[in-house]
Amino acid sequence: MLRLALLLLLLAAPLRAETVPLLDPASVPGLGANGRAELSRTLLRNLPRAFAIGPGGAYASRAGNAAPEAVAEAALEACQAHTPRQLPCRLWLRDLEIVFPGREWAPATPPEGTGWRQAVRETVPDARFLWWGPDRARGVVLWAHGRGASGEDSRGRQPQAWLRHLNNAGFDIWRFDRDPEADFVRRAAGWMRADLAALRAQGYRRVVVAGQSRGAWNALQALDTPGLAEVTIAIAPAALAAMDEAGQARQMAALREVLAAAAPGGRVAVANFQGDPFDGLPEERAAALRGLAGTAAAFLLIDRPAGLPGHSAGASAAFATRYGPCLLRFVVEDVPPAAC
């Protein structure tokens, strides 16, 4: 009976990083401290990505907006530059897989048909992130993309890299994708509320909703319904395309309405950036957002950090490196940080 109880406890507990070979740099043969540190950084980068190793502790990593084959070849060439040609480098990591001969490993994938798909929207796990599953995950993040002013289609776009910190710590990453022709503010907020409730029903221990621009605005709108998410993370929230003086005033008024409707409880983090054309009233906006500190169980404002300008700064590697660890702590720690 005791063994059975222990087995059931293990099955119910979230997987730990050390049980996943991909997330264990110490297991890489012949890799020194600097190489392990670089591999750890690589594991926090978006795809495509590759890490190569060679004799004598040689290593190199590459990631970026190129074909996966090109990224892998670049990593091998960079590694080989530090190793004689007769001692070839080999790939250790490619995207989410260990591909080194004899040490191959690939992650689990979501069961076929996981998610919700309709003609104008879908909510699905993102296959570019590790899949833990509701029974094993520490929680889930519903990620909402923005809506471009010119109406470009953002469906399928890779979520921002700072989410790697949460994913590697055991959170599944789901995308909230909408057809721009049907993606209206109130309508999308209703879809989001329904999807958050559906994810809760899947059995996830903790639900996080996060988004960029219009997706972040929808996440703030969902604060009006208690119990949908334990944590809300809004990156550069915005709702209007017309950013002249009158448009800025309308958006500020709309933001105050959204914040006033927020129900008590939950954790809320917001990031604003310098030079954001959708944030023409930065002092007023920051002051309004700080009002959430009296409503939310915990509040964190990343307000116009130095060196991270523009509406899309949250998508940068610099933001992921500087603020990803802090946002993870905000999500998981019993006493979350009030500043980063």
List, for residues 296-327, the tens digit of each pLDDT value: 999 999 999 999 999 999 999 999 999 999 99
Closest CA to 222 of 263, 173, 269: 263
Give the pTM: 0.93
**Residue ranges in 151-280 assigned as alpha helix (H):** 163-168, 185-201, 214-221, 245-260
Are 340 and 326 in contact, with CB atoms under 8 Å apart?
A: yes
Q: Is the pLDDT of residue 63 over 80?
A: yes
- To which H or E segment does residue 62 belong? strand 59-63
pLDDT band at 251 (very low <50, low <70, confident <90, very high): very high
Q: Is the pLDDT of residue 172 over 80?
A: yes
Q: Domains of the chain by range and CATH?
A: 12-98 (no CATH), 116-332 (3.40.50.1820)
* % of the chain surpassing 70 pLDDT: 94
Please tell me the predicted confidence (pLDDT) of residue 133.
97
Question: Per residue in 83-115, is it b (16+ CB within 10 Å) or e — as a string?
Answer: beeeeebebbbbbbebbbeeeeeebeebeeebe
Q: Please, which residues bridge with residue 209 across strands?
A: 142, 232
How far apart are alpha carbons 163 and 61 in whole angstroms?
20
Q: Is the pLDDT of residue 2 over 50?
A: no
> What's the whole-number average pLDDT of the chain?
93
pLDDT band at 19 (very low <50, low <70, confident <90, very high): confident
How far apart are alpha carbons 169 and 172 in whole angstroms?
9
The residue with greater pLDDT, 208 or 280, is 208
Q: What is the average pLDDT across 174-187? A: 96
Q: Is the pLDDT of residue 174 over 50?
A: yes
The residue with greater pLDDT, 18 or 8, is 18
Q: Which residue has the tokens 């930065």?
A: 282
Q: Is the pLDDT of residue 3 over 60?
A: no
